[in-house]
Chain A
Amino acid sequence: MLNAILVGILETVYMTVVSTIFAYVIGLPLGVILYVTDKGGTHPILWLNRVIGFIVNFLRSVPFIILLVWVMPITRAIVGTTIGSTAVIVPLVIAAAPFIARMVESSLKEVDLGIIEAAQSMGASSFQLIYKVLIPEAKPSLLVGSAIAITTILGYSALAGTVGGGGLGALAYNYGYIRRDEDVLLVTVILLVIVVQIFQEVGMLIAKKADKRVK
C-alpha cells in the first residue's frame, strides 16, 4: 500500500510538472500574442487576436472531464495509448494552455504603459520589447500565475485518475471510491493538500523573491 501511495505521489508530480511545462510552451506565446495583437497593443492585429481569443475561450469553456474523453483520439495519436500518467499529459496541456494564455495576457497588461513607451522611445524593436521589457517586468506576476496554474493542473490531474490516468487521483478513486477504503481516501486527500500547498507556497515565495519592487 505504502508503495502504491509513493508511486501515486511521484506520478502526480510527474504529470503536473510535465503538463505545466508543455502548457507554458504553448500558453506563454499565445498569451504574448493575445497581448500584443490586442487593440491597444504594440502590434494590433485584430483578426488574429479574435481567432486566438475564440479558440482560447472555447477550450476554457469545455469542462475538463469532457475534454479528457473528447481528445482521446489525439492522445492516442501522440502517446499511443489513453491510459496512464503520460497519456493524461495531453488533455492536461490542452486544457491548461488556454488558461495559461489568459493569465499571461493579464500579467502583461499589468506592465506600466509608460515603461513600454520609454522602451519604444529608445528604439526597441517589437521583439526586444517582448523579451527585454514585457516579460521581465511582468515576471513576478507571471510567477504568481504559474503557481496558480500548477495547482490547477494538479487538480485536473487528480480528475484524470477516474478515466485511467495515474497518480493520487487514481489511487483515491480506485481504493476510496471503488473499494470504499476510507483510510486510503483520507491519506490521499491529505497528500494532495500537502502537494498543492508545497507548489503554491514555493511558487509564491519565488515570485516574492523575484520582485524588485518591494524593498
Chain B
Amino acid sequence: MSDEIIRVEELNKTFTGKSGTIVALDGVNLSIRRGEIFGIIGLSGAGKSTLVRCINFLERPTSGRVLFQGRDLAELKPRELLLARQSMGMIFQGFNLLSQRNALQNICFPMEIAGVPRADAKKRANELLELVGLSDRADAYPSQMSGGQKQRIAIARALSTSPSVLLCDEATSALDPNTTRQILELLKHINKALGITVVMITHEMKVIETICNRVAVIDESHIVEMGEVKDIFIRPQSKIAKQLIFPQGDDAPNISKAGKRSLRLVFDGTSAFEPIISQMTLDCRAAVNILAANTKNVDGKTYGQMVIQLPEDEVSAARIEAYLKDRSIFFKEEVPENAECDTGRYS
C-alpha cells in the first residue's frame, strides 16, 4: 500500500474559446501523500484553480489522469464520481456559503446531499461548529458574519461528510493577516487531529511557509519546482519561486564572502530571531555578522531567512552550529554562487 492519496499524471487542460485555445495546464505530474499539507503556489493565471478543479473533476482534463485513492476518476460512473467528490471537501476564496441558509444549515448541506439522516446531520454540524469555534453563531446567516467566520463555517461544511482530502483554493486570500493566521492554524489543527490531507492553493508564500510540508510551484501551466518547503525556501531554483519568496525583488541573500564560512538560517515561524541571535552571541561568546536578511516578524515569530557569517575561529563556529541545532533552527552552509549545494543539515 502506498501512502499516496492523489496522483496526477501528465495532466493537460486546454480551454477553447472564441479567442483561440488557452493552455491552462501542461504536463502536470503530482503525487500527494496521505496526511500531508501540500501547497501549490503560483501567480494569478498560472493554472492553480484549474488544477484543483481537475483534482475533483469539476473540470475534465483534456488528457492525462487523476487518481484518487488509486482509482482513476475518468473511469468512475457518474454516481461514483459524485461519491468520490463527497470524500474531497473544498473551500474557496469567496467562501461560497449558501446565502439563504444559516451557519448550521450550511454545514448540514453536504450531509443532505449525501443522504445523512437529519438528526445525525444536525448533531455532527454542532460538533463541527465547536471544532471551528463558532458554536454561538449557529443561527447566523452568512451576511451576518465576518470573512474569517464565514471561512470557518465553510471549513466545517467541507468537513461534514468526513472527507479524506480538503482542497483549499486561495482559502485565505480574502482575509486580513491576523485572520489568515487563525484560519491556517485551524487547518493545521484539522490536519493533525483528523489526519485529513490538505491541498493548499495560494499565491502567498507566507501560507506555504506557515503550514505546508511540501510545495509545488506552478508557472504558466507548468510545475516548475516541487519539494520540501524548506528546501525550496532556502534555495529556490526557478525564477518564479524566487519572485514569490522575495516579492520585494531583492534576490535571495546569497552573499558569501571569500574565506569565511557563512550559514543561511531559515526561520519558519517557530521562533523569533532576535532572542536567538542575541542569546547565541552570549552563549557562544562569539559575534556573528549578519550579511543579509529577509525576514518578517509576525506576532513575535520570525519568518524568512538570513545569512550570517561565522567567526573565523573554528571552535566558535562549531559552537554556533551546535547552538542552532539545539534550538532547532534550520540552517544550511552557504556556498558561493554556481558551486554545487552541499547537503543540508536538519537539526
Enumerate chain A interface residues (CB-CB to B < 8 A).
112, 114-115, 117-125, 128, 132-133, 136-137, 139-140, 210-215
Contacts and interface: CB of A to CB of B under 8 A. Distances in A.
B113 A123 contact: yes
B12 interface: no
B114 A215 contact: no
A122 to B, nearest CB: 4
Contacts of A132: 109, 112-113
Given A136-B98, A137-B98, A122 B161 contact: yes
Contacts of B88: 121
A73 to B, nearest CB: 44
Given A124-B113, A212-B143, A117 B100 contact: no
Contacts of A118: 90, 92, 96-97, 154
Q: Top 8 A-B pairs ranked by shortest CB distance? A: A123-B85, A118-B96, A123-B82, A121-B90, A114-B96, A122-B110, A123-B86, A212-B141
Contacts of B92: 114, 117-118
A114 B82 contact: no
B144 interface: yes
Nearest to B114: A123
15 contacts: A115-B96, A118-B92, A121-B56, A121-B85, A121-B167, A122-B85, A122-B90, A122-B158, A128-B113, A136-B101, A137-B100, A139-B100, A211-B100, A212-B141, A215-B144
A117 B98 contact: no
Interface of B: 56, 58, 81-86, 88-90, 92, 94, 96-102, 109-110, 112-114, 141-144, 154, 158, 161, 167
A136 B100 contact: yes
Contacts of B102: 212
A115 B158 CA distance: 13
Contacts of B99: 112, 115, 137, 212-213
Contacts of A128: 113
A209 to B, nearest CB: 12
B30 to A, nearest CB: 18
Contacts of B90: 118, 121-122
Contacts of B167: 121
Contact of B83 (A117, A123, A137, A212): A123
B196 to A, nearest CB: 15
Contact of B143 (A119, A124, A125, A214): A214
A123 B88 CA distance: 9
Contacts of B83: 123
Contacts of A122: 85-86, 89-90, 109-110, 113-114, 158, 161
Given A114-B96, A133-B98, A137-B98, A213 B141 contact: yes
B96 A117 contact: yes
Nearest to A115: B96
B299 to A, nearest CB: 31
A199 to B, nearest CB: 23
Contacts of A137: 98-100
